[in-house]
Structure 1
């Protein structure tokens, strides 16, 4: 799969005409149109809608590997729903229908009014001119007890931004309780109403970003919610996996996340307006950091395990005799552990991921400030010290950048010793120089 962001210009009539000869992506039956984001037949459309209209708890008795086709599609609901999500069918399309375009138009109207008045006052307090510090350095020595969280947080491998203990207290009041507005002079009423409307629109905007993020990562989130411990047979084969096999497994999981990121970033008009070469460059430069932040949703700090493709891997399984790879794994583990201390929700991860992607894009400067403002507002509702927590989160990005560079170096070293190795094409396209 190659990275592509092209959008079809076909209207609804043209699409319906085209799919007359197109098969359902789920089961291979004759399709009837684009339903919930994927070309499907009426049967799969109805199945997916029903799966979202009530609480369901499907199970597979065949190892989650059932073939879904026109004949067998009703035999395993678990694998059918899994395939629907993997191919991109959107849960939120079932919930919210087609209101998104109107909401975007209203956002644009409010944004235009505010930009014409006082745009600078809408930025999150204290973050208008934020600039992270210099990149930290990493020691190259190796020690024992590599997967202890206490050790990981104190380890010399961990960059300064990730070393400081994080223990941000959460507010006890309801998180959506807004502070009382202070009285203002009557001549400010017009601007205040616009400002309040913008706050309301930012809440809608954040909800839309969350919906897009969860839709893009629906398959992974669903598998995580239905995850289970590794069985002994797979754990044994994993421990005995050779170097090429380990890299291939890593590349496969990264490719899945990159595909989800490509779907997610299409939501942002500022990103879509860039030429394709620039979009690909921006994504390549930031996707590792975005994947690392997103991985925090699948990491359990209590059990020190991460969910991959519906299976829980304890971090001790990733032990290796190679010192440089071991140092890299330690830092990844430490970053995930530190991110877990923030208890980031899906909307916060989505906002932070989008900010990482666009913060170096000049044409998206307004959107970057808005994303930061939305993230600050999320922290304000749940953190006792939101400014301190947000600043600390942004500072962690320097450690993520360091890990991204180390990842490319390790990949280069891998191919020096294994020049004939074949990894996932999308992963190679993004990361191999």
Structure 2
């Protein structure tokens, strides 16, 4: 229809047409009249020998002449639907309407999903701070002064005397300090309740140290480099004493190496270990949960953006959190058993790390 000069006239009565109905440009009145006549098979009779003039003022005065003019101008009776056809048409229209709604809903969901999966400026800022804190406090293993890289290590690892535990404590001290420094660099940590900060550090310290040790694992040679630069092979570790603490880290390290995490993923994994709102004894767990959610959200969006073809990568990383917490729990249980059997043998620092002390400073 060309409406630039106003509505076109109905070809039957001259009233304003609303479109093509049954092949002719007609108004709503003539369209409805024609449809009802066909559907109900109505019969009309003209009192004036079928010579009535039909326009918008006289169209209701003679139905026979009006219907005759509808046919005369070309309105098609075969296009008028019967009851069965009307029902089928209404059903089809409704199905199409529902399908369009579903398609629009899917498009909106995809758009929303893409928007939610996109890294925000806040995400990028948080990730940058976490990575900076982790790299600044990671340090590099010291070079071992031993002429034989593996010589004499197995004897130290398998012994159970107090001196061995003291050596382990001294070797771990720099790592513990680095974990504390890392935590202070994670956005929001220092704003938490002080007691909660201590509890979180105490709970995650061994987990993060295990993670850092695992990141120094060489899968090709199957060696683990300690903080002091000494390299160990799993075959050198024998059951008993300090060995029970190191052996699980080898198994975890081999699994972690297969994920090929980049530096941001490792740093964010450490931050997740720090911010665990389900740690028993937290005074303000809701504040920890807020920081945890922010890190988890940024981490997931980072993976979505950088690993679009690895949909299960995120789930695998979360499994590593569970693995590290399990290792830490088993460590604590083993240290407790050793402590009960050998009173006074384990240094206080190790008892603190393995949740047997009171503070981590």
- Both structures adopt the same fold (TM-score exceeding 0.5): yes
Q: 1:199 to 1:229 in 2, by over 3 A?
A: farther
CA distance in 2, matches of 1:342, 1:292: 16
CA distance in 2, matches of 1:329, 1:311: 13
Q: Does 1:426 align with 2:334?
A: no
**Which of 160, 181, 195 is matched with 1:277 structurally?**
195
TM-superposed CA distance for 1:253, in Å, is 3.2
Equivalent position of 1:296 in the other structure: 214
CA distance in 1, matches of 2:220, 2:344: 40
User: Normalised by the size of structure 1, how large is the TM-score?
Assistant: 0.48
User: Contact 1:261–1:287 at 8 Å: present in 2 too?
Assistant: yes
Which consecutive residues of structure 2, in runs of 5 or more, have no partner in the other structure?
A: 1-106, 278-284
CA distance in 1, matches of 2:321, 2:260: 17
Q: How does 1:279-358 map to 2 (within 5 A)?
A: 279-308=197-226, 309-320=228-239, 322=240, 329-358=246-275
Equivalent position of 2:155 in the other structure: 240
CA distance in 1, matches of 2:306, 2:193: 38
TM-superposed CA distance for 1:345, in Å, is 2.4
Which consecutive residues of structure 1, in runs of 5 or more, have no partner in the other structure?
A: 1-182
SS in 1 for 2:224: strand
SS in 2 for 1:240: helix
Equivalent position of 1:56 in the other structure: none
CA distance in 1, matches of 2:301, 2:211: 19
Equivalent position of 2:37 in the other structure: none
Structure number with greater Rg is 2
User: Contact 1:325–1:410 at 8 Å: present in 2 too?
Assistant: no
SS in 1 for 2:152: helix
Q: 1:229 to 1:318 in 2, by over 3 A?
A: farther
Equivalent position of 1:134 in the other structure: none
CA distance in 1, matches of 2:117, 2:309: 24
Q: How does 1:80-95 map to 2 (within 5 A)?
A: none
Q: Does 1:214 align with 2:151?
A: no
Equivalent position of 1:203 in the other structure: 124
**Which of 147, 150, 157 is matched with 1:231 structurally?**
147
User: Normalised by the size of structure 2, how large is the TM-score?
Assistant: 0.56
User: Aligned-residue CA RMSD in angstroms?
Assistant: 3.2
User: Contact 2:200–2:274 at 8 Å: present in 1 too?
Assistant: yes
TM-superposed CA distance for 1:338, in Å, is 0.7
TM-superposed CA distance for 1:259, in Å, is 0.9
Q: How does 1:110-189 map to 2 (within 5 A)?
A: none
Q: 1:275 to 1:247 in 2, by over 3 A?
A: same
Q: How does 1:380-399 map to 2 (within 5 A)?
A: 380-383=304-307, 385-399=309-323
User: Contact 2:165–2:242 at 8 Å: present in 1 too?
Assistant: no
Equivalent position of 2:292 in the other structure: 368
TM-superposed CA distance for 1:264, in Å, is 0.9
SS in 2 for 1:313: strand
TM-superposed CA distance for 1:263, in Å, is 0.5
> 1:55-105 deviations in whole A, cap 9, x for unaligned?
xxxxxxxxxxxxxxxxxxxxxxxxxxxxxxxxxxxxxxxxxxxxxxxxxxx
Q: How does 1:86-105 map to 2 (within 5 A)?
A: none
